[in-house]
Structure 1
Amino acid sequence: MQIIELLTPHYEAAWLPWAVQYFFLAGVATGAALLVSAFSFGAEASRMRRLLPAAVLTLAVSSIAAPVSLLADLHQPARFWHFYAHFTPWSWMSLGALLLPAFVALALAMCAAWWLGRIGWMRLLAPVLVLSALSITLYTGAEIMVVRARPLWNTIWVPVNLALSGWLATVGVAFILERFLPAHQRPDAAALQLLRSIGLLLAAAMVLVALVWAAAGMAGINPSFDAALRLAELFPVWRAGMLASALFGVAVVAALVRGKWRLDRRGYTLVLGLGLSASAWAFRWALFMSVQGVPKYGSGLYLYHMPLGSDGLMGMLGVLGLFIALVAAASWALEAWPARRQGLPAAMA
């Protein structure tokens, strides 16, 4: 009897925490782009228009912070330049180097149109911005899905869940940022109820997707489901993580449902917004960092230990600091700029 032992070397994580920040902010930005585009077609005094300032602030901050996170993950400016000097159309990363700047430019143009009170311009930009946002959604999801060596990534459900969870985070970030708007631009309880309804629809869609993913796995047509079950069975850390994710998801959905009676309490909207944002961020952490702990070949599990320097904790805090600085700058600018320039209803100005 011959025994052959296979040894799997331990590789460093290819996707660093910077990637978690980027994919989180990119999801928030695309969701905000869709909200701003839709709200720009609302009647002047409608709930949609009252939510427009919060959606625009979310779009402006996230569309600037997201590419900064990506550049930090690329480490070397030359690597970014190579996407243009050596364009490879079969690479989603290379396509993203074209799609992302176009999206950022359109997002900032939409924010500028709102700033100048040009609702007509916003409605002209809206269809193009929607297409651009969907292209970013496709590219970020496909960039992960094409990795065939990892069954947990190589499935259509990854880009779908990235999109839905990112847009749900948009609702959460909007709940947080609306409190930093000037008093005359903050949405009232009725407008916040509309935002909550959007969150409920997205949460319901995520539950439906999870059920379809599980059904496809049990039918034998979705290897990623079998891989997830195997990890949960063999490794307690994955089992605990999946259980914690399920319980946290139930708590977030319950908070959305409960919000029907509590959205007039500002503290509740803050907790709800943080919960929605944290759930989307945690999904990306598990998707990028935890999945890389599973060897592509062989057996075992590598536990990732986050470094404290720029490749880990300090880098994440840096992105958070940039986000806070952008919110502070935008809040100051909105306070200093006359309300009439933002195309607000007269009753709100």
Structure 2
Amino acid sequence: ILTPQYEAAWLPWAVQYFFLIGLATTAGITAACLVFTPTDSEARRLLPSAVAALLVCGLAAPVALLADLHQPARFWHFYAHFTPWSWMSIGAVMIPIFVALTLLFAALWWMRKEGALKAVAILLILSCLGVLLYTGSEIMVIRSRPLWNTVFVPLNLALTAWLGALGFMQLIARWLAGGMDAFPGAIWRRLGLICLALLAVCGAAWVVSGLLGFDSSFDAAKELFMTYPSWRSSLIGSIILAIILLIAMSAAPQRLCNGPYSFICALFIMTAAWVFRWTLLMGVQTVPKYGAGLYLQSLAVGSEGLLGMIGILGLFIAFAAVVTWFLDRYPSYQSMNRPAAHSASI
């Protein structure tokens, strides 16, 4: 069987963007909700990690988005020729608002402005939900791909993003003030297990709706798994991955705050969220729309492929280094002013 080689519509950059924007929005929702918990509660101790994750991913994601436009300089076209029926055009309006609210929320938290912080937190939640809706719908509306054309795509993107955000919070906490000793392992584990339970419910609902004939994506996936061994392997791998995640996140809170274990666990969780997006975006593009045999696609080495992905990873690490250094050295606005006040008194 001869199969053609097609150019991928979604470049590997898109995986980085959907990964980072998902982590940013779900970290934003988590941080905004934590603002309404009592100041001395254990849940509030997760807020520094959530804000740091929000800042890092919220700043890195727009860069990946610009890179995915094939011609980054043409981003202004979305504003010069606004099309309200296009999710991409709507997203071009939502993203700047989200980034502005992210910076404002982080600044108010750092300055300990509780009253204004709660007001901005509500706006941030609405903005995050809007961005999650736009990113999920941007994929879901493509009817030529039955595997994408289902309401379960936005739901799974949101839930796996939250899982990845929790993993990043666990990872970045070690470089903030107090380190892993200040990290609330019990609260983090509870949120992680809730996320896994919601993913299981979402998966079960997809299967049931497919069996009842309400979702054509289930039939497309079933045919795919029965026809191609590589997709059967991916299904088996996904089940094994879910079991490992459940076991890893069910550990005792003390172990979840242990240096080596928490580091490996966090990286594993983030990798799982990233692999889901790679399979959904890049893997599905190899599925033939017509004919037989998977489309042939290869990962380019240059800026449109591997090099570009490494570049975004480097930017992500750079933002993480700057944010964690700053918050570790100056956990709050008051801590920045304290040395100056002391010098003035002398």
TM-score computed with the length of structure 2 as normaliser = 0.93
Could you give the per-residue CA deviations for residues 288-324 of structure 1, whole angstroms, max 9, x where no partner exists?
A: 0000001222222024321111111111111111111
The residue number in structure 2 matching 1:211 is 204
Could you give the per-residue CA deviations for residues 254-291 of structure 1, whole angstroms, max 9, x where no partner exists?
A: 11112446224121111221121111101100000000
* TM superposition shift of 1:338: 5.8
Structure 2 unaligned blocks of 5 or more: 337-346
Distance 1:312 1:196 in 2: 35
**Structure 2 residue matching 1:74: 3-state secondary structure:** coil
Distance 2:38 2:319 in 1: 29
Query: Pick from 315, 322, 326: which aligns with 1:329?
Result: 322
- Percent sequence identity is 48
**Structure 1 residue matching 2:256: 3-state secondary structure:** coil
The residue number in structure 2 matching 1:118 is 113
Relative to structure 1, the CA distance from residue 269 to residue 218 in structure 2 (aligned partners, 3 Å threshold; closer, same or farther) is same
Relative to structure 1, the CA distance from residue 260 to residue 117 in structure 2 (aligned partners, 3 Å threshold; closer, same or farther) is closer
Contact 2:146–2:216 (CA<8 Å) still a contact in 1?
yes
Distance 1:61 1:249 in 2: 26
Distance 1:116 1:75 in 2: 39
Distance 1:151 1:254 in 2: 33
Could you give the per-residue CA deviations for residues 165-209 of structure 1, whole angstroms, max 9, x where no partner exists?
A: 0011110000000011122x65635x1210111111011000111
The residue number in structure 2 matching 1:229 is 222
In terms of mean alpha carbon deviation, does 92-101 or 42-51 score higher? 42-51
Query: Pick from 150, 155, 159: which aligns with 2:154?
Result: 159
The residue number in structure 1 matching 2:195 is 202
| Counterpart amino acid of residue 107 in structure 1 | T
The residue number in structure 2 matching 1:20 is 15
| Counterpart amino acid of residue 318 in structure 2 | A
Contact 2:25–2:132 (CA<8 Å) still a contact in 1?
yes
Contact 1:157–1:213 (CA<8 Å) still a contact in 2?
yes
Cα RMSD (Å): 1.9
| Counterpart amino acid of residue 69 in structure 1 | A
Contact 1:137–1:159 (CA<8 Å) still a contact in 2?
yes
1:188 aligns with 2:188: no
The residue number in structure 2 matching 1:346 is none
Could you give the per-residue CA deviations for residues 107-161 of structure 1, whole angstroms, max 9, x where no partner exists?
A: 1110111121212221110111000000000000000000000000000000010
Relative to structure 1, the CA distance from residue 78 to residue 328 in structure 2 (aligned partners, 3 Å threshold; closer, same or farther) is closer
**Structure 2 residue matching 1:308: 3-state secondary structure:** coil
Q: Where does structure 1 differ by over 4 angstroms across 4 or more consecutive aligned residues? A: none
**Structure 2 residue matching 1:239: 3-state secondary structure:** helix
Distance 1:312 1:259 in 2: 40
| Counterpart amino acid of residue 301 in structure 2 | L
1:278 aligns with 2:271: yes
1:44 aligns with 2:39: yes
Could you give the per-residue CA deviations for residues 209-232 of structure 1, whole angstroms, max 9, x where no partner exists?
A: 101111111122211111111111
Query: Pick from 167, 171, 185: which aligns with 1:172?
Result: 167
| Counterpart amino acid of residue 74 in structure 1 | L
Contact 2:185–2:253 (CA<8 Å) still a contact in 1?
no
**Structure 2 residue matching 1:99: 3-state secondary structure:** helix
Relative to structure 1, the CA distance from residue 27 to residue 263 in structure 2 (aligned partners, 3 Å threshold; closer, same or farther) is same
Contact 2:6–2:296 (CA<8 Å) still a contact in 1?
no
Could you give the per-residue CA deviations for residues 45-69 of structure 1, whole angstroms, max 9, x where no partner exists?
A: 2112211111110000000000110
The residue number in structure 2 matching 1:255 is 248
| Counterpart amino acid of residue 22 in structure 2 | G
TM-score computed with the length of structure 1 as normaliser = 0.92
* TM superposition shift of 1:38: 1.1
**Structure 1 residue matching 2:291: 3-state secondary structure:** coil
Distance 1:263 1:154 in 2: 37
1:72 aligns with 2:42: no
Relative to structure 1, the CA distance from residue 298 to residue 31 in structure 2 (aligned partners, 3 Å threshold; closer, same or farther) is same
Distance 1:84 1:95 in 2: 10
| Counterpart amino acid of residue 326 in structure 1 | F
1:287 aligns with 2:286: no
Contact 1:164–1:206 (CA<8 Å) still a contact in 2?
yes
* TM superposition shift of 1:10: 3.2
Distance 2:296 2:208 in 1: 29
Structure 1 unaligned blocks of 5 or more: 344-349
The residue number in structure 2 matching 1:347 is none
1:312 aligns with 2:299: no
Could you give the per-residue CA deviations for residues 70-100 of structure 1, whole angstroms, max 9, x where no partner exists?
A: 0011132342111000000000000000011
| Counterpart amino acid of residue 206 in structure 1 | L
